[in-house]
Amino acid sequence: LTISELTDGSIGLTISELTNGSIGLTISELTDGYIGLTISELTDGSIGLTISELTDGSIGLTISGLTDGSIGLTISELTDGPIGLTISELTDGSIGLTISELTDGSIGLTISDSGLIISELTDGYISLTISELTVGYIGLTISELTDGSIGLT
């Protein structure tokens, strides 16, 4: 256990990972006084958690995918402030989910493992694609036509 004083008088706390696999915790102060919290992934496969401050003062949260196939969650800030959420596909075939912000501020949703894509078209309409899976499940496509109407396949 290490407790050290930071340059502004606040406290930096470090609990290092022990050889028996106990948790490693680090709480450090960022340059503007915000708190960066890191709980690193342990050798026994326990979760790794990182909370860091983004340039505009908001919070970026990352829970990395663990070696045992547990979920990997990332919440990162986009350039204009909204949130981009990514749950990556795991090695055991679990679903991969991505929610990202489109250029006009709306939300694009992608679920890669099941083949589901919801993306925004240039005029603000929504295009939905459910691709045919390798196991033979149905493939559905809803796209916008040039005249603004909807094409269903």
- Per-residue HEC secondary structure of 116-143 comes to EEEEECCCCCEEEEECCCCCCCCCEEEE
pLDDT per position as a tens digit, 81-90 = 444 444 444 4
Domain boundaries, given as residue ranges, for the chain: 62-129
Q: What is the pLDDT of residue 42?
A: 43
pTM above 0.85, yes or no: no
Q: What is the pLDDT of residue 151?
A: 52
For tokens 């981009």, what's the residue? 84
Q: What is the pLDDT of residue 45?
A: 44
Token pair, residue 65, equals 């995918």
Cα–Cα distance between 36 and 32 in angstroms, integer? 11
Segments of the chain scoring below 50 in pLDDT = 1-3, 11, 15-25, 29-31, 33-35, 39-49, 53-55, 57, 59, 61-103, 105, 107, 109-122, 124, 126-140, 142, 146, 152-153
CA 40, distance to chain mean position in Å, is: 17
Q: What is the pLDDT of residue 50?
A: 52
